Structure 1
Amino acid sequence: MSDTDEFGRVSRRVGQLFRGVLLASTLAGILTLAVLLVYVANDAFRPLTADPGWHLTFLLTFVLPTLGVGWWSYQRSYGTLTTGLLGIMLPTIAALYAGGLAALFIDVIPTLVWLSFVVAFAIPVGVVVALDRTERDIPFLAEITAVLAVTAGSLLFVPDLVQGLPTVPADWMVLVLTIGIPEALLLGRWTRGRWGRRAGLTTGAGIVVGSAVAGVLGTVTGVGAIPGVALALFAGVPTALYLSVVAIERPERRAGLLLPAVIVGGALVGELFVGALGFAGPESWVDWGFLTSTVQRGADPGAVGIYSGIVGTILLMFTVAAIAIPAGVGAAVYLEEYAPDTTVTRIIDVNISNLAGVPSVVYGLLGLGLFVRYGGAQTGTLLVGGATLALLVFPIVIISAREAIRAVPDSARQASYGMGATRWQTVKNVVLPRAFPGILTGTILALSRAIGETAPLLVIGAAQVFGVPDSWNSTVGAMPLQLYVWASTYASPAFYTTVLAAGIVVLLTAMLSMNSIAIYVRNHYEQR
């Protein structure tokens, strides 16, 4: 059979028709999703309840200038536009997650407890560094024994000693000491290698001083010391570094920074004008009270809030990340770099691929049987919920990490072996650094999926509980569960177009922000 008979008659019309059908189906899907999002956003923000003067004011001060500068940036270059968009998205997304971190230290983890465990873990880390730098030839077994003994003793006695001190630093001081100083050391070293020693010292000192000033200002202004430090360290610092990189290393894209300036300036000017002219804004359901209220049930939609669901979701994500990422990446490294190509490994490969497509409710049943029935844990707790969701995303993490490791050229491995490196040194210094962007992207997308899962948490018994947990054995809720209960058990018809829509917007914002981070990381490293 010839190639012509195998492929059939060559026709350009058929190809164009197929391309048109694909384009039409894609546009139909995008349009349907856009209509759904607009419908939900309209119920959540209620823009039509604002005065016409409010709309006109923000049209002139915010919308038109933003569109004009955005089009001008796009005409200069696509990179200029993306620089401006990232300049406004980065601080926005970072502020969201900084607020979640602040909520953990305000309601869940006391700063003194955090300080005690940081000190307890710092002691064995110092011992490991000291043993690594010593010139004496210490047997490996002796090193492991010493590290394990110091770690056990430190975790047993140091937290109680620190928590029993008569005088302890303020909350913001604890965060500056335990988070601000390590961040200053890491980013100071990064900027020193990039722009010189003076830049590294300036960056490190600026981070420490800036976070301390933010803590003091937060106390004075009423925002709170902990939120002030969290916003400075996790929103202010990344934004300042991004602006510095663009200003110093990408002069051809500096004009793109005009776009976030126009957006922020236009919003502030518009707010000043509507306040001075007395125009009423929209009666939005997504407001500060909704985000910070812990009331979960009631007949009045205006009295409930989603704060407990946000905190529960953040804690679940930390638990899932702590369990699934190290185990998943470790399994991927073993299967790709160490495991022989045998029948057993091929069976494992097939089963991992199949497990990635199993419905989430099955993992809920698995978690119920494994951790509750056989493990004896209480239903609906933070540890059980996090472990169940970790089982859900575990195959996804393995598959994404394996694909990233497989994408590393084999020539890089052979070059490392040619220099005399062992297999572990090759994996640690060659394979994992090159595969890190793909691994990070896959894990972020896996965690994004875990955020929106409801069925596993329903099965393990966390549906009716929405308190803020204070320990691993505390019951926990999550945003998807909260939305489910609002739409079913405790909701009235008034909830469907009010609080429920506002909760959906908050959940979608968290998921889309994580997906945006994953896409940016992937595109950034692909360009490099």
Structure 2
Amino acid sequence: MATDTGEYEKTSGFGQVSQTTGTIFKYALLAATLVGIIALGALLLYVANDAIQPFTADPGWYLVFFTTFVLPTVAVGWYLNRTSGVALSTGVTTIGMLLVGTIFAAGISTVFIDVVYPLMWFAYFVAFAVPIAFAIGLSRSDFEIPFLGWLGITVITFGASLALVPYGILRLLYIPTNGMSMALTFGSVAALAGRSYVSKRWDEERTANIAAGIILLVTILSSFVGGLTGIGAVAAPILTTMALVPVGLYVADTVTHRPENKVGLALPVAIIGGALLGAFLVDVLSFAGPQSWLDWGFVTGNSSSTAADAGLYPAIVGSVLLMFVVSLVSFPLGVGAAVYLEEYAPDNKLTRIITINVSNLAGVPSVVYGLLGAGVFVTYLGPGIPVLPPAIANPLGLSPVYVAGSLFGSGTIVVGGLALSLLILPIIIISSQEAIRAVPNDMRQASYGMGATKWQTVRNVVLPRAFPGILTGTILGLGRAVGETAPLIMIGAANIAPVPRTFESVVAAMPMQIYVWAGTFATPEFFERVVPAGVIVLLIAMLAMNSVAIALRNKYQKEG
């Protein structure tokens, strides 16, 4: 065996084993890691400096926030780290949930403020909720109904409910405000989710029912509070259900079931309280903050060819709508393909060729998927999808009938979403295959031994076990899609566009907008101020999505 002084000896199969060589190799890897981290950190600091311009603030501004925000946060964090690392993790998780939930709530709010009419959303929500509740109640009733009969009744109920949307639901239900529509829809879903969580953690149905009622009541009240405070009656219920309710449940669970960790809640109190106190004192003392380009006006402003008036809001709304289309297309197709390849497809040469090609497609440059999307969706389907093809219509003396042509126009949200879906489909398929393959085969055999069918085994054993890995891979794929530019350039996305109102609108996503600012409008003011501000917003969105994937992975790893 090698000695600590660098001596070595012959070892069968390994040649000369030396402690010195291993030490050099370890420190070489450490040096490479540090170089990469430092280079990336320097680049991010450079971009943040251009976007925020921190050195333009008054010295008193720094003194106030150092006293009220930085110093208390560092002190509390240091104390928690010295006393209990788990308590520190609790505090970090709480503030992380609040920040990420707020970011997602802001993105979803843009859709209901500018794209989807809240009352129509409420009508369709009721149209779907009533049949779902009826189907669940029918399945849990004592009536013995055959599967086909249950399916037929459910389909008829769905059809009748949807048919009533444009003819009577809005008249039959009195909803006084848009905010109340959002509160009832989002609040009811949050109440059901909160009830399930409380029932699982507290194991008391009465407590779960009380929690559900409190969540619904708080969400309804938030619509009125939001209208009075400037947050907005539409945005406030979404913010409540996506940020405040999860944080509240997590804090209540920590206090009840992990009281030794509740000291960690001092960290979010120090961060939020210090930030609010600092903002109040700065306003009272009239200290000027940084002359940042990344402000509320930039995030909510419209696109412009002038740097002083340039805003990112239309691009933010476009990215949110694109991710909706991408999620709707890529998740079921990718997971379905993975389930078939792993559970149903025979192990033959054709299946192996398909699997290898899916892996190769994951490495294809994104511009190729953009060209494919432009060729298929814009050039071929742009004129419309033929309901009655010309080859059949012309001999019969009829005119060809086309539909959905406007959806597949150049640069529309649907085309951009489909092109980005093609880009991340291989990623979702591969990650889902790995998650399904990681499920122990003994669990499948045990299910078969109890008389379960293939479908029952996949549904009740394989998918629940593989779902964390599937969800993590999907979120990471969406994180890549939200930052892609090449496919949007190929399908003809707009350089400057207004806020999209429908899925037929031409899209202007965040990465595309940043590319245009850096290229078409490459003036020093755009390049040194506006572009860095846009990059910071895009990075925040991507980090928020990736943080959800990391949190889910860690959660299910602990449970496993």
Task: Calculate the TM-score normalised by the size of structure 2.
Answer: 0.89
Is 1:170 paired with 2:170?
no
Within the candidate set 456, 460, 464, 1:425 is matched to: 456
For the 8 Å contact 1:381–1:462, the answer to whether it is kept is: yes
Partner deviation per Cα, 1:245-301 (whole Å, 9 max, x = no partner): 21122222211111111111211222232223222111111111111111x1233x2
Q: CA RMSD in A?
A: 1.9
Post-superposition Cα deviations, 1:477-513, rounded to whole Å, max 9, x if no partner, equal 1000110111111342111121111111000001011
Give the Cα separation in 2 of the matches to 1:255 and 1:23: 35
For the pair 1:398 / 2:429, whether they are aligned, the reply is yes
Structure possessing the higher radius of gyration over alpha carbons: 2
- Post-superposition shift, 1:176? 2.1
Cα distance in 2 between the residues matched to 1:357 and 1:391: 12
How far residue 185 of structure 1 moved from its aligned partner, in angstroms, is 1.8
In structure 2, what is the equivalent of residue 375 of structure 1? Answer: 381
Contact 1:463 1:485 (C-alpha < 8 Å) held by counterparts: no
Aligned to 1:57: 64
AA of the residue aligned to 1:13 = T
Secondary structure of 1:498's counterpart equals helix
Identify which of 304, 313, 319 aligns with 2:310: 304
- Equivalent residue number for residue 328 of structure 1: 334
Q: Which residue of 2 aligns with 1:255?
A: 263
2:367 aligned partner = 361
Q: Could you say which residue in structure 2 is the equivalent of 1:503?
A: 534
Q: 1:515 aligns with which of 546, 549, 559?
A: 546
Match of 1:229 in 2: 237
Give 1:205 deviation, angstroms.
Answer: 1.1
Percent identity reads: 51
1:18-167 to structure 2, matched below 5 A, reads 18-126=25-133, 128-129=135-136, 131-133=138-140, 138-163=145-170
Cα shift at 1:199: 2.1
CA contact (8 A) 1:93 1:513 kept: yes
1:269 equivalent in structure 2: 277
Give the aligned partner of residue 286 of structure 1.
Answer: 294
Q: Is the contact made by 1:215 and 1:225 (CA closer than 8 Å) also made in structure 2?
A: yes
| Alpha-carbon distance in 1 for matches of 2:77, 2:475 | 29
Letter in 1 for 2:344: Y
Structure 1 pair 177/275, CA: closer, same or farther in 2 (3 Å)? closer
User: Is the helix fraction higher in 1 or 2?
Assistant: 1
8 Å contact kept, 2:427–2:477 = yes
Structure 1 distance, partners of 2:210, 2:131, is 30
Tell me how far apart the structure 1 counterparts of residues 213 and 328 of structure 2 sit (CA, whole Å): 31
Shifted more, 474-483 versus 428-437: the winner is: 428-437
Q: Which residue in the other structure is 1:17 paired with?
A: 24
User: SS in structure 2 opposite 1:420?
Assistant: coil
Indicate if the aligned counterparts of 1:466 and 1:478 stay in contact, CA closer than 8 A: no
Equivalent position of 1:527 in the other structure: 558
CA distance in 2, matches of 1:156, 1:330: 30
Distance 1:104 1:145 in 2: 34
* Paired position in structure 2 for 1:209: 217
* Paired letter, 1:271: A
Q: SS of 1:10's equivalent?
A: strand
What residue number does 1:338 align with? Answer: 344
Counterpart in the other structure of 1:240:
248
Supply the AA of the counterpart residue of 1:211: T
- Structure 1 position 396, deviation (Å): 0.6
Q: Does 1:475 align with 2:515?
A: no
Q: Is the 8 A contact 1:120 1:155 kept in 2?
A: yes
Per the TM alignment, residue 320 of structure 1 is displaced from its structure 2 partner at its CA by: 0.5
Distance 1:495 1:355, change over 3 A: same
Contact 2:186 2:238 in 1 (8 A): no
Alignment match of 1:191 (pick from 180, 188, 198): 198
1:497 aligned counterpart, secondary structure: helix
Distance change (3 Å), C-alpha of 1:131 and 1:339: farther
Distance 2:174 2:226 in 1: 22
Q: Does 85-94 or 267-276 show the bigger shift?
A: 267-276
Counterpart CA distance in 1 for 2:199 and 2:134 is 27
Residues 140, 264 of structure 1: alpha-carbon distance in 2 compared, 3 angstrom cutoff: closer
Aligned to 2:486: 455
Tell me the distance in 1 between the aligned counterparts of 2:239 and 2:24. 52
Matched-pair contact (CA < 8 Å) for 1:116–1:160 = no
Letter in 2 for 1:347: I
Q: How far is the alpha carbon of 1:26 from its aligned partner?
A: 0.7
Measured in 2, the distance between the counterparts of 1:10 and 1:476 equals: 60
Partner of 1:389: 420
- Residue 220 of structure 1 corresponds to 228
Rounded to whole Å, the distance in 2 between the matches of 1:384 and 1:370 is 9
Q: Which moved more, 1:339-348 or 1:137-146?
A: 137-146
**AA partner of residue 314 (structure 1):** V
- Are 1:117 and 1:159, in contact at CA under 8 Å, matched by a contact in 2? no
Secondary structure of residue in 2 paired with 1:473: coil
Letter paired with 1:256: G
Q: Distance between the aligned counterparts of 1:276 and 1:167, measured in 2?
A: 45
Report how many residues are paired: 524
8 Å CA contact retained: 1:466, 1:482: no
